[in-house]
Amino acid sequence: MNLRRDVFQAIADPTRRAILLLVASQSMTAGSIASNFDTARPTVSKHLQILTECELLTQEQNGREIYYHLNPNKMKEIAEFIEPFRKMWDDRFNKLETVMKKYKSK
Amino acid sequence: MERKTKINAEDGKQEILITREFDLPLELLFKAYAEAELVEQWMGTKVLKLESKKHGSYQCETTDTHGKVLLRTNGVIHEFSPTRKIIRTFEMENTPYGVQLEIYEFESLNDDTSKLNMRVIYESVAQRDQVLKLPFAYGINMAHNRLQDIASKLNISQ
């Protein structure tokens, strides 16, 4: 498991979350994305690289410009990533409930 | 059906909130956390030690069907207030997940139902996110399935 380049690492950073919000409304070039931030252009490029590497963003060449799109499938994965964790606890608590109901009726 | 177990893990925070409503009176819910024999049954793990008191400590061990140790966990108890509150630490031995602080608050909803509010605080945001993802990871899933196997066998033998 490559932790440095997975989606969860990617969304841990507030600037990268802001970039995702921006691109969610429309595809944008690196330049137009960077113009929304006070941070240096290379920093924004680095964030875009990370978001692209973990497939949250996809690149599309349009003439001389590269446009960044949001990858909705990968975003869905984030929304659902907590579910297995919840399920694990839910199963555990269900078991507790069953055990204690049995204990009570003894 | 409404979800009985709720998880709240805000982005960028190093804590997780877990809440659950039980069809159990408060006393029984609390007992499930206080007595080693009961913890063993619902957690599907062997409790090597559980001192349910302030300054007490605990240690658990999970083995596969061949007796090979899969996971050891331990912690110390900082507060133990029957039917109200437990504060303890939790650590999975020989893993990179660090030590977490767990605050359990128990409350009665009515004579037959109760609620558990559990707040888990990790050493860092990164560690919290790793633990959140654990059920995703294949190896841990296998261990968890194994846990359920053991638990279901325990059930049959009772």
pTM: 0.66
Question: Do A12 and B28 make contact, defined as CB atoms within 8 angstroms?
Answer: no
Question: Do A14 and B12 make contact, defined as CB atoms within 8 angstroms?
Answer: yes
Question: For residue B1, what pLDDT is reported?
Answer: 47
Scan for tokens 């960028």, then name that residue.
B12
Average pLDDT estimate for A58-77: 87
- Cα separation, B116 vs B105, whole angstroms: 6
Question: Do A99 and B43 make contact, defined as CB atoms within 8 angstroms?
Answer: no
Work out the minimum CA distance from A10 to partner chain B, whole angstroms: 11
Q: Strand order in B69-81's β-sheet? A: B5-8, B15-22, B114-121, B99-108, B85-92, B69-81, B57-63, B46-50
Please name which of B108, B19, B36, B38 lies closest in space to residue A99, comparing C-alpha atoms: B38
Work out the minimum CA distance from A34 to partner chain B, whole angstroms: 23
Instruction: Say which DSSP state B55 is in.
Output: T
Q: Which residues of A touch B18 (CB under 8 A)?
A: 89
Nearest to A99 among B3, B5, B32 (CB): B32
Identify the burial level of B95 via C-beta atoms within 10 angstroms of its C-beta, where 0-12 means exposed, 13-18 middle and 19 or more buried: middle
Residues contacting residue B12 through CB under 8 Å, at least 6 positions apart: A12, A14, B125
Low-confidence ranges of chain B (pLDDT < 50): 1, 138-144, 147, 156-158
Question: For residue A14, what pLDDT is reported?
Answer: 77
- Give the tokens for residue A27: 């595809």
Nearest to A99 among B3, B18, B38 (CB): B38
Q: Which residues of B touch A88 (CB under 8 A)?
A: 135, 144
Question: For residue B80, what pLDDT is reported?
Answer: 98
Does the predicted interface ipTM exceed a cut of 0.85? no
Give the C-alpha distances (Å, rounded to integers) separating A74 from A51, A77, B1: 11, 5, 27
Instruction: Say which DSSP state B3 is in.
Output: -
Judged by DSSP in three states, B152 sits in: helix
Question: For residue A1, what pLDDT is reported?
Answer: 39
CA quadruple A91, A95, A96, A98: dihedral sign = positive
Question: Do A95 and B137 make contact, defined as CB atoms within 8 angstroms?
Answer: no
The 10s digit of each residue's pLDDT in A5-33 is 567 677 777 788 888 888 887 899 999 99
- Taking residue B131's Cβ as centre, other Cβ atoms within 10 Å add up to 20
Question: Do A96 and B134 make contact, defined as CB atoms within 8 angstroms?
Answer: no
Q: Are B77 and B59 in contact (CB under 8 A)?
A: no
Q: Which residues of B touch A90 (CB under 8 A)?
A: 3-5, 20
The 10s digit of each residue's pLDDT in B110-138 is 999 999 999 999 999 989 988 887 765 53
Instruction: Say which DSSP state B142 is in.
Output: H
- Cα separation, A52 vs B124, whole angstroms: 25
Identify the burial level of B32 via C-beta atoms within 10 angstroms of its C-beta, where 0-12 means exposed, 13-18 middle and 19 or more buried: buried
